[in-house]
Structure 1
């Protein structure tokens, strides 16, 4: 049995009853492969629309990145709208720009509609470590305002010092429409909403083979699902065997997180007085926030190829203490790794493998919000409106340089170059 990875989230998860493993041959309208946010959002939008949905999860709901991430609700994509416009044209930018704040709104609506207890707190800061990054945030503010996010507040050095008790930052950008939450509890709450709408969820039920025909058939070790439509939503944990056409277009990458012991309320509020989450503007960025019980959760680093590092503390603890040296004597209670899926363009990959088989993957670090948007878009497709889904599907999906064998060293070399630029302030 594959249980949730040992983490702060697993230890503070809301009570839940595990879902059964699939051990029979069943039929449905839509079979979804993957029980993370992409699969859960898709399933919930579809059952709300009246589809008969079966969701297959290889381990537990929220077992992968959806139940291990930093818990930050960050708007937009891993490439901002000006880059999208320069690469893909004004029409594509207009379509994607019109959707870049929608994922966060979907999350807030889900929390309210289904009374999901996941410790949601509004507000997120992008923190600049040098003047060049602050100028980039000024451009970001202007870009986002063009698409309706008019509440952004640019922070100078004095203002950001009031928000973050660290001398590392020269300024920042506050997005009141961002926020942070307990991601595993959000996933568990969405799964329960699917169940209450009549959706069927199966855990410990990895898809082993897909027969592409009409209807399609998804096989597991002890059963099968025959469905009119299949949605592949495995992301970084899909593996190379089930569908190699997808794995060659992306690369799993690991990120690591530490969580401190509970801090006193005074100490916690001295670090982040308004309880906003933070991510910096480096290419290999750090991110941090307070939990509901006043721990500091601090993550960062990228391990290309997604191996689990043997010791997480040397990778993350120096970053935490550089940001908050006042925590030098604080105990670390939790440490874990999780994988996200990176694409060469850093843009999500949505598309069709067959007329009745769809995929959505590769949010490249913006998975919490992009996955929730993806679920809404696939429901639109199956209801007959593919315009917004196809705005993503038309983006080029390029394989990494060097193929599977050399994609890790080539990408790591490029990342090292950009990390050096970050350190030098270029």
Structure 2
């Protein structure tokens, strides 16, 4: 069987500034392992590293390259918590679920920092994340979030009023916000490459260019994973392909919607310019329903993301689509050269809560981080590893949360979701 060459990374600033990485050979012939992980992104590598360090034989199969998907293209922002606040989790699922998820709300960021330091991963890690509010209503929502978090013993949050804004971000758009001292930002692709190296150092194997064609549970209480040029037999498979697993497990595809977000980066700016715009070097995301997010890079660019396209796909001109957002936020950057423009696809659940569980005794999965994937992927990868090692408690907390289908089925889920996003975006613009 012939294995196609791995697809190159998207033409992003991340790919242009990534550390060199060796090519990893595809699956060839037939190989056996204890656990097979599908997807060499944040979730898959998080689970694989933990399992390899526990002594399991682990192979990761990746259709393209390590970090090729959303893990290597995102905004690089360490945003703690979930895509829905603890108050929403309490209202939907009850106090016990809120308490359990709150106990894990900052763990993803902790995992990133622990691995960066333990494995000496060079990924430009910087502390500090800021939630920027446009209206007094959004400020009140942030204050309520801070109270909820502190009620669960979660710390590191600081309210910032209009008078204090200039020490965080110099922009005319905001009335204040909340600084998360345990937030931060980094180079996500270099972090992903560092995880792969740490996994291999622990005895694991990564196969690139190994798109999965079929997954079949066997009578011998195991699973067979078929790739283009070979097969893997394992006791257990962890499916961590998020929005990029197509045509293999329809039940998972029906549970999420692919969504594209776009990113641009400016040319390198003079140090005084970026220091004046973002003096605290914290990353920023605003509080709108369809939000913008941005930060400084290690080479003094502004990396700016925003806009979403439900169902996948991109605007005809990403640079043009995001330039107006960038220049509205920072009028002094009007006309600045934009060197890179790219997009990435993430998986959205209807509940906006990650979806983790089992499709069968030997097929387990995690996906649907719904825009908060940088931190939740680290956590959920760890929960998959714990469960594979027989510690089911925290895995079962997430697996018990109901995952609802999108209304309208495959035909109407995109237009209905777009209408909902338009409605909430209108409310943001009107300040109601």
Tell me the TM-score range normalised by the shorter chain.
over 0.9
What is aligned with 1:100?
Answer: 105
Helix, strand or coil at the partner of 1:407: helix
1:59 aligns with 2:64: yes
| C-alpha distance in 2 between matches for 1:309 and 1:210 | 34
**Aligned runs of 1:148-163 on 2, under 5 Å?**
148-163=153-168
- Superposition misfits of 4+ residues, deviation over 6 angstroms: none
What is aligned with 1:280?
Answer: 286
Equivalent of residue 37 in structure 2, options 32, 41, 45: 32
Report the alpha carbon displacement of residue 162 of structure 1 after superposing the two structures with TM. Answer: 2.6
What is aligned with 1:385?
Answer: 391
| C-alpha distance in 2 between matches for 1:148 and 1:181 | 26
Report the alpha carbon displacement of residue 212 of structure 1 after superposing the two structures with TM. Answer: 1.5
Q: Please say if residues 161 and 167 of structure 1, whose CA atoms lie closer than 8 Å, have aligned partners that are also in contact.
A: no
Report the alpha carbon displacement of residue 383 of structure 1 after superposing the two structures with TM. Answer: 1.6
Q: Please say if residues 284 and 415 of structure 1, whose CA atoms lie closer than 8 Å, have aligned partners that are also in contact.
A: yes
| C-alpha distance in 2 between matches for 1:202 and 1:150 | 40
What is aligned with 1:329?
Answer: 335
What is aligned with 2:400?
Answer: 394
Report the alpha carbon displacement of residue 88 of structure 1 after superposing the two structures with TM. Answer: 0.1
1:202 aligns with 2:207: yes
**Aligned runs of 1:220-299 on 2, under 5 Å?**
220-239=227-246, 241-299=247-305
What is aligned with 1:181?
Answer: 186
What is aligned with 2:423?
Answer: 417
| C-alpha distance in 2 between matches for 1:13 and 1:242 | 31
Helix, strand or coil at the partner of 1:176: strand
Q: Which runs of 5+ in 2 are unaligned?
A: none
| C-alpha distance in 2 between matches for 1:148 and 1:108 | 20
What is aligned with 2:114?
Answer: 109
Report the alpha carbon displacement of residue 418 of structure 1 after superposing the two structures with TM. Answer: 0.2
Q: Which runs of 5+ in 1 are unaligned?
A: none
Q: Please say if residues 288 and 428 of structure 2, whose CA atoms lie closer than 8 Å, have aligned partners that are also in contact.
A: yes
1:261-312 CA-partner distances (Å, limit 9, x unpaired): 0001000100000100000000000000000000000000000011132210
Report the alpha carbon displacement of residue 69 of structure 1 after superposing the two structures with TM. Answer: 0.2
Helix, strand or coil at the partner of 2:26: coil
| C-alpha distance in 1 between matches for 2:154 and 2:181 | 9
1:104-130 CA-partner distances (Å, limit 9, x unpaired): 000000000000000000000000011
Q: Please say if residues 256 and 348 of structure 2, whose CA atoms lie closer than 8 Å, have aligned partners that are also in contact.
A: yes
Helix, strand or coil at the partner of 1:212: strand
What is aligned with 1:138?
Answer: 143
Q: Please say if residues 167 and 280 of structure 2, whose CA atoms lie closer than 8 Å, have aligned partners that are also in contact.
A: no
If the length of structure 2 is used for normalisation, what is the TM-score? 0.97
What is aligned with 1:365?
Answer: 371
Report the alpha carbon displacement of residue 151 of structure 1 after superposing the two structures with TM. Answer: 2.2
| C-alpha distance in 2 between matches for 1:160 and 1:124 | 13
Report the alpha carbon displacement of residue 238 of structure 1 after superposing the two structures with TM. Answer: 1.2
What is aligned with 1:118?
Answer: 123
What is aligned with 1:403?
Answer: 409
| C-alpha distance in 1 between matches for 2:109 and 2:328 | 30
1:192 aligns with 2:197: yes
Coordinate RMSD, CA, aligned: 0.8
**Aligned runs of 1:311-330 on 2, under 5 Å?**
311-330=317-336
What is aligned with 1:22?
Answer: 27
More off after superposition, 52-61 vs 144-153: 144-153
